[in-house]
Structure 1
Amino acid sequence: MLDALVWLVTNIGMAFYNLAYAVTHPQLWLDWSDPEAVMRVVYYGGSVEFFFVAFTTILVLTALGIWRNSIMWTGVIVLEGFANAVGRFFAWAGLIMVIQQVVIVFVQRIFAASEITLGFGQAFSFDVSWWSEELKLYNAMIVALCVSYTFVQHGHVRVDLFYSAVRFRTRKIIDMVGALVFMLPMAVIVWMYGWFFLWRHLITPKPSASEDLDRLLMKARAFRWNVETIGFSPNGFNAYFLFKVLLVAFAGLIFLQAVAVLWRSWLEFREGEESEGKHLDRDRLEGGTAESAEHVFESR
């Protein structure tokens, strides 16, 4: 127990040094013309050091927010605003997906063409099957990049067994426990899995989560980019590495949203019912807000 506590305190203390060193030595990890810089990004992106930099940053901001509520409210506004901005932008992928599907049907059934060419100035042409399989990318973008936006908008399906029957402050405690026990650990696990899963399909030699920094720097001598371009069919979509990028982005958005949920729940717990929904940017529907539409649905 004592060893674990020493380990925790040591890593929290080292987080300040690691963050300062990374900021003051950007050439060590931003110069991707240097294979060793890429390997440092691969290692530190899924490392204990990176986790404690993020953990300590949240810990410090939370302590400041407990001391002064306005600091924490600013953090909530920034995180929820970021989730809304990302989600509202990539939600347009749904419209693009529908339009592209309509074009594919017309090209195949009416014009009996085997390829679709798209471009302005520099055109690129792919088989119809490539465009058909690429539709899955739009769907993945909506799922991965609109997840926190949907959470902010209260758009996720919710199975309510006892939540609505308990008092306001009890609900806030449930939200905080949910963020700490479920959302944050799940986001970290998905990130750890997705991070190395992504890089194994981008570079060779393939990195492993069990390798230390020295081992990865040795591998840098044989480094080369090897981006995955294998499709499920000969003429099918061949950029499946983008799905690995979306997996990492999904985990990052869930992590940030968990922090926003934790902070908002604490502030609403502390300030009382009058603060519920404070600074919440909800989309407006015809005839009212999204929240009022949700209440109408629940009442029915």
Structure 2
Amino acid sequence: MHFLQLFIFWQNRFQQSVGHAVAWLSLALVLTTAAAVLLRYGVNFSASKLDESLIYMHATLFMLGIAYTYQQNQHVRVDVFYQRCSLRTQTWINLLGAILFVLPVMVFIIWAGLSYVGASWAIQEKSLDASGLPYVYLLKTLILIMPGLVILQTLGLIAQSLLTLLHVEEPA
């Protein structure tokens, strides 16, 4: 098996594993939101930790699910022209878009987020609410993990685009 095909195979498998694992947060988010609403309006009880856990789950779901969504080709795209293009033209659009837009933006997010996340880790940042969750620094770490996953997915997309343009058979 060609090196690029092997990379694409394992990268896709990794993104699918992350995506499927993170998808369970959707269920947890719905159940926790329902519990928070029932507690707040049913028995007049509210807890900062419960409310903040909703924010953590929501952020984790989206930040770790972005690369999987990209891998599944379910990301936002202007399909008015794209859908009418040939496979070769679509492949060129994907390749150039990945190289000219996705990679630079993800590298910028990492560059801009390093000091921000580093400062949060340095002080082991906690919630501003005294009874809130003490793991804000872990939540902020998603700012670096997300572009890392997207870069990995983008490299897989670039490799697949190159193989398609070179007419190499798609990996299993």
Q: Is TM (by shorter chain) over 0.5?
A: yes
The percentage of counterpart residues that share the same residue type is 26
Deviation at 1:242, TM superposition (A): 2.3
C-alpha distance in 2, partners of 1:130/1:192?
Answer: 31
The answer on whether the counterparts of 2:103 and 2:154 sit within 8 Å (CA) in structure 1 is yes
Structure 2, unmatched stretches of 5+, are none
Correspondence 1:47-196 to 2 at 5 A:
70-114=2-46, 128-196=47-115
* Structure 1 residues 263 and 113: alpha-carbon distance in aligned structure 2, compared to 1, 3 A threshold: same
Q: CA RMSD in A?
A: 1.9
**What is the aligned partner in structure 1 of residue 143 from structure 2?**
247
Equivalent-residue separation in structure 2 for 1:102 and 1:151 (angstroms): 29
Partner of 2:162 in structure 1?
Answer: 266
Give the whole-Å Cα distance in 1 for the aligned partners of 2:98 and 2:87. 17
Letter in 2 for 1:260: G
Q: For 2:156 and 2:118, locate their aligned partners in 1 and report how far apart those are by CA, in whole Å.
A: 29
Report which of the two structures shows the higher radius of gyration computed on alpha carbons: 1
Q: Which has the higher helix share?
A: 2
Residue in 1 aligned with 2:127? 230
Q: How many residues align?
A: 172
Unaligned 5+ residue runs, structure 1? Answer: 1-68, 115-127, 204-225, 281-300
Deviations 1:251-272 (A, max 9, x none): 1011111101100011111117
Q: 1:138-159: per-residue Cα shift (whole Å, max 9, x none)?
A: 1111111011111121222221
Other-structure match for 1:119: none
1:31 corresponds to: none
Say which structure, 1 or 2, has more relative contact order (CA 8 Å, 6+ apart): 2
Q: CA deviation at 1:234?
A: 4.0
Q: CA deviation at 1:70?
A: 1.6
Contact 2:69/2:75 (8 A) holds in 1: yes
Matched with 1:14 is none
CA drift at 1:137: 1.0
